[in-house]
Amino acid sequence: MAASDRIETLAIHAGQRPDPETGAVMTPIHLSSTYAQAGPGEHKGFEYSRTDNPTRRTMEACLAALEAATHGIAFSSGCAATTTLFHTLSPGDHIVACDDVYGGTFRILDKVMKPLGIETSWVDLTDLEGLADVFRPETKMLFAETPTNPMLKLIDIRKAAAIAKEHGITTVVDNTFATPINQRPLELGADVVVHSMTKYLNGHSDVVGGVICTSDDAIAERLRFLQNAIGAIPAPFDCFMVLRGLKTLPVRMERHAQSAADLAAWLEARPEVEKVYYPGLPSHPQHALAQEQMKTPGGMISFVIAGGLPAARKLLGAVRIFVCAESLGGVESLIEHPAIMTHGSVPVESREKLGIVDGLIRISVGLEALEDLREDLAGALEASQ
Ligand code: P1T
C-alpha cells in the first residue's frame, strides 16, 4: 500500500498482502509460540511470539498506517498499552493529564504509577491558558483524551501539543473515542497515540486489546523493548479479529456518527433529559473545535436524566435494545452509568466536579436501525420518571 492511499483503502489493505506461500487473501493466524532457527540466531525474523508474531506484526502495520504513524505496538488491553507507555518514564518524572479520563486510566496513574514515584497533575485541558504554568522541570508527558470519557470534552490537540513541544514535553492522545477516522493526532502535532482496541477499532465487542502508534523512533524503540520485556502482548487470534474489524472501521464510524447526531438532538428535546453532552450539538462548549478537529463528532453521547440515581436505574432497567454494560464502540448499542460503572474508581469529589453526577448516563450508539434505538430510548425515558 502507498502511504498516500485513502484511509478506507488502508483499513482494508495496509500491511497486508496475499500469503506468498498459499495465496490466502486474509492474514493467517500464526499460533506458534516459537520459530525454528537454522542455527543459533539464524531465523526468518521471528524467534518467539512474545517478541514478535506475524499476525500481530500485520495488525500493528495496519494500525500504524491508519494513524499516519511509522510504528504500531500492540498490547493485551488498552490499560496494558497505557501502563507500558507510562513505564517509559522514571521515578521523579511528572505527568500532566486531562482531568476527565477513563476511570481505569485514572486508577493506573493514581494507584500504580504514583506509588512508583511518577506523579500526575489533573488539569482541565479544554482551557489551555494556564497549561504552561502547570509544567514543572520534571514534567515529561502531557496525556489527553479527546473526546474525554465520559464528559465528551474536547481538547485542542494542535494547540496543546505546540505548548508541550515548547517545553520539550511528549504529547500523548488517547484516540479511543475518536478513532483515526475522525482525527489523526500525530498529524496535529502529538507525539504518541494510544488506543483501547477493545472499542471501535475491533468494533464487535469480542476482543480486549490496546495499541500505541508513533513516528518517534526513540519512543518506539523503548516501547518495543518494554512490549517484549513486560510481555503484555495480544494473542494472535485477537490480532486477526482486530484486522478483520478494521476493514469496516470507516463505514462503521460514519454510521455511528449519523445515528448519534440524530439521537443527541432528539435527547436534547426530551422533557426527561436535563442536559446532553455531544460535540456535534451547537450547545456543546467546544462545538466549533469539533467541526475543525474532527471529521464527525463520533458515536458517544452522555446525558443527565431528571430524577438522579433512581431515574437512572429505572432507565437502565427499561431498555430493550440498548444493553446495560461497560465498554463502547461495538456494533451493538450500549448504555451505562459512569458513576457506578466505568468511573467508579474516580473519587466522588472529583466525579462531581467533572459532572459525573448520579443522573449521568453514557450511551454508545450502535449500528441498529435508528428508529428502533429512538423508540427504545423513548420507552425507557418514559419508564424512568
Ligand atoms: O478496557 P481496555 O481495553 O483496557 O481499555 C482501557 C481504556 C483506555 N482508554 C479509553 C478512552 C477507554 O475508554 C478505555 C476503556 N473504557 C471502557 C471500558 C469504558 O467503558 O469506558
Mean pLDDT of 234-242: 98
Pick the last residue of a domain from 246, 277, 293: 246
Alpha carbons within 13 angstroms on the beta-carbon side of residue 284 total: 26
- Asked whether residue 293 carries a pLDDT value surpassing 80, the answer given is yes
Domain boundary among 221, 246, 271: 246
- Whether this prediction's pTM lies above 0.95 is answered by yes
Which of 76, 82, 73, 10 shows the shortest CA–CA distance to 238? 76
Do 185 and 82 lie in one domain? The reply is: yes
CATH number reported for the structural domain that contains residue 24 in this entry = 3.40.640.10
Is a pLDDT exceeding 80 seen at residue 309?
yes
- 60 vs 49: CA distance, rounded Å: 14
Does 248 have pLDDT greater than 80? yes
**Residue 39 predicted with pLDDT over 70:** yes
* 220 shares a domain with 286: no
**Distance from residue 104's CA to the centre of ligand 1 (Å):** 7
What's the grid cell of residue 374? 429512538
E-assigned strands of 108-205?
119-123, 139-145, 170-174, 192-196
The reply to whether 16 falls in a domain is: yes
Same domain, 280 and 237: no
Give the position, in ligand 1's atom list, of the atom nearest the Cα of 343.
21
DSSP string covering 293-335, please?
H-SS--SEEEEEETTHHHHHHHHHHH-SSSEE-S---SSS-EE
Domains in the chain, number: 2
CATH number, domain of 304, equals 3.90.1150.10
Task: Say if residues 172 and 143 touch (Cβ distance below 8 Å).
Answer: yes
The number of the ligand 1 atom at minimal distance from the alpha carbon of 105 is 8
- Specify if 196 maps to a domain: yes
- Over 90: is that where the pLDDT of 2 sits? no
Q: Is 3's pLDDT higher than 90?
A: no
Residue 110 per-residue DSSP state: I
Query: Per the domain annotation, does 2 fall within a domain?
Result: no
C-beta of residue 12 within 8 angstroms of C-beta of residue 62: no
Whether 26 maps to a domain, the answer reads: yes
User: Do residue 182 and residue 225 come from a single domain?
Assistant: yes
Which among 50, 56, 15 is positioned nearest to 35, based on CA atoms? 50
Q: Is 48 a catalytic residue?
A: no
Query: CA–CA separation, 248 vs 118, rounded Å?
Result: 39
Ligand 1: list residues with CB < 6 Å. Answer: 77-79, 102, 104-105, 145, 149, 174, 176-177, 196, 198, 208, 210, 326-328, 342
What range does the domain containing 84 cover? 7-246
Are 99 and 116 contained in the same domain? yes
Q: Domain check: are 220 and 271 in the same one?
A: no
- Domain end call among 218, 246, 274: 246
**275 and 226: one domain?**
no
Are 143 and 112 part of one and the same domain? yes
Say yes or no to pLDDT of 1 above 70. no
> Quick one: cell of 202?
475491533
**Residue whose grid cell is 505548548:** 163
Given this model, what pLDDT does residue 81 score?
A: 98
Paired with 194 in beta bridges are 174, 212
User: Does residue 1 sit within a domain?
Assistant: no
Counting ligand 1 atoms within 8 A of each CB, the residue from 198, 241, 323 with the most, and so the one to mutate, is: 198
Enumerate helices (H) and strands (E) in the chain, giving the number of each: 14, 12
> Which tens digit of pLDDT belongs to each residue from 18-31?
999 999 999 999 99
Task: Please report the pLDDT score of residue 329 as a whole number.
Answer: 98
Residue 100 catalytic? no
Mean pLDDT, to the nearest integer, of 375-380?
98
pLDDT tens digits, one per residue of 66-87: 999 999 999 999 999 999 999 9
Q: What percent of the chain has pLDDT over 90?
A: 99
pLDDT per residue as tens digits for the range 112-165: 999 999 999 999 999 999 999 999 999 999 999 999 999 999 999 999 999 999
> Is 37 found in the same domain as 91?
yes
Backbone phi, psi, residue 355, to 5°: 105, 5
Pocket test residue of 176, 300, 302, 335 for ligand 1, highest count of atoms within 8 A of CB = 176
Given a contact cutoff of 8 angstroms between Cβ atoms, the answer to whether 169 and 125 are in contact is: no
Average pLDDT, the chain: 97
Q: Are residues 123 and 150 in the same domain?
A: yes
Q: Same domain, yes or no, for 189 and 241? A: yes
Q: How confident is the model at residue 4 (pLDDT cuts 50, 70, 90)?
A: confident
Question: What is residue 80's predicted lDDT score, i.e. its pLDDT?
Answer: 98
Q: Do 227 and 124 share a domain, yes or no? A: yes
pLDDT of residue 269: 98
Is 367 among the domain residues? yes
- 100 alpha carbon to ligand 1 midpoint, in Å? 13
